[in-house]
């Protein structure tokens, strides 16, 4: 299947600082990537849809100025949490939609391993 990576896997930062999370599709090109947030014992919540070369589309209630998304290439999308606060502490997960896979396989969304953010 398709592989999606995230970096870093875990980050601890002070309140007020900004944190950048990278999401990469390793063996396929992804014109569309998605960012989710997951709090403990809860399901994934879609934050935004990231399209290569255009502005991200944010879900209702998600502040676009706080969660900056950049999708500059077909294999990389970044999420920057600006002026992070303790309530932003969460598990952030990206996914990438496959269009075609060189090795065959299913067109669907593949998820990264997630990034655990802790804001002190």
Contact set with other proteins (CB under 8 A): 1, 4, 6, 32, 34, 36, 43-46, 49, 91, 93, 95, 97, 106-114, 116
What's the rounded Cα separation, in Å, for the pair 33 and 73? Answer: 11
What's the rounded Cα separation, in Å, for the pair 100 and 86? Answer: 39
Burial class (CB in 10 A: 0-12, 13-18, 19+), 72: exposed
What's the rounded Cα separation, in Å, for the pair 11 and 22? Answer: 12
What's the rounded Cα separation, in Å, for the pair 114 and 36? Answer: 9
Nearer Cβ to other proteins, position 68 or 111? 111
CB of 108 to other proteins, least distance (A): 5
Nearer Cβ to other proteins, position 20 or 97? 97
CB of 16 to other proteins, least distance (A): 26
Nearer Cβ to other proteins, position 8 or 16? 8
CB of 34 to other proteins, least distance (A): 8
């Amino acid at each position: 299947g398709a592989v999606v990576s995230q970096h870093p896997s875990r980050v601890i930062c002070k309140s007020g600082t900004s944190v950048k999370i990278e999401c990469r599709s390793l063996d396929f090109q992804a014109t569309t990537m998605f960012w989710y947030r997951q709090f403990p014992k809860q399901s994934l919540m879609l934050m935004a849809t990231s399209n290569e070369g255009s502005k991200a589309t944010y879900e209702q209630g998600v502040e676009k100025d706080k969660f900056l998304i950049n999708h500059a290439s077909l294999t990389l999308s970044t999420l920057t949490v600006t002026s992070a606060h303790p309530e932003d502490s969460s598990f952030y997960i990206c996914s990438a939609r496959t269009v075609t896979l060189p090795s065959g396989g299913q067109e669907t969304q593949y998820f990264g391993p997630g990034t655990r953010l802790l804001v002190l």
